[in-house]
Amino acid sequence: MGDGVPQSYVEASTWYRKAADQGHAAAQFNLGLLYANGRGVDQDLVQAHMWLNLAAAGSEAAAQRERDLMLRT
């Protein structure tokens, strides 16, 4: 949760990536959002779509909505 330490999107992306690579849907969702917004990583809409799609397949309810919203912009 990062309580008591300075906020770092770069550090968050590292940890989300480790969990996402292991199939953790919530981490895939969060990593997708980081890529979509370019926080802690270079903005990459292809990577964002991939991670959000994997999260949606993993039953992360908000991921499908975010993925579809991203495609409309």
Q: Which of 59, 72, 66, 36 is nearest to 9 (CA)?
A: 36
41 lies in some domain: yes
The number of distinct structural domains making up the chain is: 1
Q: What's the whole-model pTM score?
A: 0.88
| 58 within 8 A of 23, measured Cβ to Cβ | yes
22 lies in some domain: no
Q: Where are the alpha helices (DSSP H) in 1-73?
A: 9-21, 25-37, 45-57, 61-72
2 lies in some domain: no
Q: Which two tokens stand for residue 50?
A: 């991939």
- What span, in angstroms and rounded, lies between the C-alpha atoms of 44 and 13? 13
Q: What is the pLDDT of residue 3?
A: 83
* Residue 61: Cβ within 10 Å count: 10
34 lies in some domain: yes
Give residue 43's domain range: 28-73
How does pLDDT run across 17-56, given as a tens digit for each residue? 999 999 999 999 999 999 999 999 999 999 999 999 999 9
